[in-house]
């Protein structure tokens, strides 16, 4: 019996002496987001009817929440009843708000334009500057949520 108790004590001490196993650290990777989106933009001073914009957005969200990428889009102007703009935009910022800068072409104006804007959670705002010195400011709502 003494041998049994002695063996149990040795086994118990061996269990106590084991080093706990820790899992390997979790490595976070960048996340790529590829989404189609829709936006309603109202141009200030133009009409109460919005422009309908549809496009494709490809961004990468880094571990530190920085967002980089781009989008392509086209729009339909309800007021003018025509397909109007095609845009290519670069995107940079963080997961709360991103800045946009790009170029586009207006079929209605038959003119190239530059674009800068900001985009937050379901919100969009920006300026279009056409090369015939016309400035257009818009605000809108979008399906983009990051």
Q: CB-based contacts of 73: which residues, under 8 Å, 6+ apart?
A: 37, 39, 53, 54, 55, 56, 85, 86, 87, 89
Q: CB-based contacts of 34: which residues, under 8 Å, 6+ apart?
A: 56, 57, 58
**Span 122-144, average pLDDT:** 93
Tens-digit pLDDT profile for residues 83-99: 999 999 999 999 899 99
Residue 145, pLDDT score: 80
Helix (H, G, I), strand (E, B) or coil at 106: strand
- The CATH class, in words, for 31-142 is mainly beta
Half-sphere exposure of 70 (CA within 13 A, CB side): 7
Q: What is the pTM of this model?
A: 0.75
Cα–Cα distance measured from residue 120 to residue 28, given in angstroms and rounded to the nearest whole number: 24
Pick from 21-30, 38-47, 121-130: least confident:
21-30
What are the extents of the domains in the chain? 31-142
Sequence-ordered alpha helix ranges (H) in 1-146 = 2-17
Query: Please, are residues 138 and 43 in contact by the beta-carbon 8 Å criterion?
Result: yes
pLDDT-based confidence at residue 132 (cuts at 50, 70, 90): confident
Express as a percent the part of the chain with pLDDT over 70.
Answer: 83
């Amino acid at each position: 019996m003494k041998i049994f108790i002695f063996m149990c004590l040795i086994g118990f001490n061996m269990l106590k002496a084991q080093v706990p196993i820790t899992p390997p650290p979790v490595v976070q990777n960048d996340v790529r987001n590829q989404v189609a989106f829709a936006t309603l933009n109202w141009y200030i001073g133009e009409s109460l009817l919005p422009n309908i914009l549809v496009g494709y957005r490809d961004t990468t969200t880094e571990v530190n929440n920085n967002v980089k990428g781009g989008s392509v889009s086209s729009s339909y102007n309800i007021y003018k009843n025509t397909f109007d703009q095609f845009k290519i935009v670069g995107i940079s910022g963080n997961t709360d708000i991103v800045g946009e800068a790009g170029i586009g072409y207006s079929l209605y104006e038959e003119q190239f334009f530059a674009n800068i804007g900001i985009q937050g959670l379901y919100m969009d705002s920006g300026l279009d500057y056409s090369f015939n010195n016309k400035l257009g400011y818009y605000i809108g709502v979008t399906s983009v949520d990051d």
